[in-house]
A = this chain, B = another copy of it.
Amino acid sequence: MTAGAQTRQRLLRSAGELFRSQGYAATGLNQVVAESGSPKGVLYFHFPGGKAQLAAEAVALTGGDLGARMAAAMAGATDIRGAMTALGDLFAADLEASGYLDGCPVASVALDGGDRSQPVLSACAAVYDAWLAGLANYLNRQGVPDGEAAELAALIFTSLQGALLLARVQRDVAVLRAVTRQLGDLANRAALRQARLK
């Protein structure tokens, strides 16, 4: 990687972390530059579209990373229930390690009032679509048929998102365990039902 590409990557990582922990509107570009250890002035060189471009690319990067961690967590589990538990554990670990600051890196940009420009929203939607597809794909491989897998993936995704929010507000990860246990039972039943039909 060239020095320029490395600087660009550092700016994106710093932006992604700051947006995640303190929100989009509250994060200033000067802080991103300072955190990344880059010289002033490089930001607009690498991101002529300013904060919106930085946010769109940072969401894609950090959202992609988290999606890969979710996929690895599920792949490492021995069954569907274990996979749901592993997803809850992953999010709980991020929350606890950050003093309940690090929730969903996409939500902290998408829900924030600072920017609703189309490139930012599109980047957020693309990450969520990929997560949904990853969940549906996992369920499908466990025997849940296509249509049902997509529906169940939506329920799992939305419930995890809401649990992340509630856990942050309550400063307690218990709700993550409570919903992933129920989601695990649900997904397991869907897979078993299908196995019986065969």
A: which residues have CB within 8 A of B? Answer: 21-27, 101, 103, 106-108, 110-114, 116, 121, 124-125, 128, 151-152, 154-155, 157-163, 165-166, 168-171, 175, 178-179, 182-183, 186
Q: Is the CB of B27 within 8 A of A121?
A: no
Q: Closest Cβ of chain B: how far from A190's Cβ, in Å?
A: 11
* Contact residue among B26, B121, B178 (Cβ-Cβ distance under 8 Å from A151): B178
Q: Is the CB of B124 within 8 A of A169?
A: yes
Contacts of A186 in B (CB 8 A): 186
Docked pose: A106 CA to B106 CA in angstroms: 18
Docked pose: A198 CA to B136 CA in angstroms: 37
* Contact residue among B106, B112, B151, B162 (Cβ-Cβ distance under 8 Å from A112): B112
The A interface, classified by DSSP as helix, strand, loop or mixed, is: helix
* Contact residue among B25, B107, B151, B171 (Cβ-Cβ distance under 8 Å from A165): B107
Q: Is the CB of A179 within 8 A of B158?
A: yes
Q: Is the CB of A175 within 8 A of B158?
A: yes
Docked pose: A23 CA to B22 CA in angstroms: 13
Contacts of A110 in B (CB 8 A): 165, 168-169
Q: Closest Cβ of chain B: how far from A192's Cβ, in Å?
A: 15
29 contacts between A and B (CB under 8 A): A21-B113, A23-B25, A23-B112, A23-B113, A23-B114, A24-B113, A25-B26, A25-B113, A26-B114, A103-B111, A107-B111, A107-B165, A112-B113, A124-B169, A125-B169, A128-B169, A154-B166, A154-B175, A154-B178, A154-B182, A155-B179, A158-B160, A158-B161, A158-B162, A158-B166, A158-B179, A161-B162, A161-B166, A162-B163
